Chain A
Amino acid sequence: MTLRRRSFLKLAGLGLAGAGTVPVAEALVRGTRTEAGQDALRGKRWAMVIDERKCLTRGGCDACVQACHRAHNVPRMADPKHDVKWVWKERFEHVFPDRVTPYTPATMKERPTLVLCNHCDNPPCVRVCPTQSTWKRADGLVMMDMHRCIGCRYCVVACPYGSRSFNFEDPRPAIAGEPTDYPTRTKGVVEKCTFCAERLAAGQRPLCVEACEGIGCGALTFGDLGDPGSPVSALLRANDVARRKPELGTSPHVFYLL
């Protein structure tokens, strides 16, 4: 039997239509829906206020740093140049260089000041990332996708706050104490604070905030700036607040009461 042009086209059309039903059938066979958990905290614009006046009264307290780094399996590298940090304390003169004058006393210059990712409105790290492994969520969180990070470190260079750490070596052997279920990272990716996205998804506030409250200090306040009734909104209305390097136009969303 010879296949005529007309019947060939008919058959080909039928075949194509049949192939088209495969993805439809597959979609029907399995669930396609994903959803946020019922408990998840939802915000328009997450932000943090750090009350340095309260924080300073605690001297060398690092309850928030310990809680964060332990929960997120942040390694302690032997070489300080390779160290990985999500939240830590830095000298005041490095955190707010524009607030230091030649007459600022050394005690003030050296004040340990808490720093972390500022979750900027206009994050330079996101702008330079070639793989979109760091990106900005609609609710303001600047996120990291370790699956996509190729370790180019553009973001490390772009961030004006030094909030990003690169894994120069395998972090696993350098994790102190009992590790948690939080995924570790590998050599060759960049990591930073995520405002505890995994805890927000489960209805909890960031761990550093809870740790600070846990020791009865309460220097850290977290909340939604889209909600006028939230504690961060109230603090920003009532106080003269500072942001790090505002002149760069990144619009950080970690605010300081100095």
Chain B
Amino acid sequence: MHDTGKILVGLGVFGVLATGPIWYGLSRGGGAPPDLPKPAAAKQCVEPTAYMRSRHMELLDEWRDAVVRDAQRVYVASDGQRHEMSLTGSCLRCHEDQEKFCNKCHLYAGVETFCFDCHQKKRKLAATARREGGLP
């Protein structure tokens, strides 16, 4: 135990470096989850909000497989309502702007999506941005 001082200093430096990004993010106010706009057109999503928030990726995967592989295009929700399984036809009809809804939260969560590399609404056609770096 001759180097207690050095070890403590080393640990301190390590601690600051390792947690640095967290402090940096917090100091810039990046800690709060993004405030997502609520659609004006509808009050209720296809499934309850809590489920959509945590499991929408699984739902979309199911929709994709059902539509593309099984030629099934209608989803019967838990409340019995029928919905067209379509990202642009159903989801984006209420959540009109993917930049303000999907991308905002995905940027916050650091999860990259590539749905909109192909799927698009007429007015939103731009060259694929993913390859050029950064989140969509």
Contact surface of A with B, Cβ cutoff 8 Å: 29-31, 33-37, 40, 135, 137, 143, 145-147, 170, 172-173, 175, 178-181, 183-187, 197, 200-202
Contact = CB atoms under 8 A, between A and B. Distances in A.
Nearest to A171: B128
A33 B47 contact: no
A184 B89 CA distance: 15
Contact of B120 (A34, A36, A37, A179): A179
B74 A35 contact: yes
A30 B63 CA distance: 13
Contacts, number: 84
Contacts of B76: 31, 33-35
Contact of B68 (A36, A145, A184): A145
Interface string B83-112: 011001100000000000000000000000
Contacts of B63: 34
B122 A37 contact: no
A145 B66 contact: no
Interface string B71-86: 1111111111000110
Interface of B: 47-48, 51, 59, 62-64, 66, 68-80, 84-85, 88-89, 114, 117-122, 125-128, 131
B45 to A, nearest CB: 11
Contact of B118 (A29, A36, A185): A185
B71 A197 contact: yes
B78 A181 contact: no
A35 B71 CA distance: 8
Contacts of A201: 71, 73
Given A181-B122, A184-B118, A201-B71, A170 B127 contact: yes
B75 A172 contact: no
A143 B117 CA distance: 20
A178 B73 CA distance: 26
A181 B120 contact: yes
Contacts of B89: 181
Nearest to B114: A186
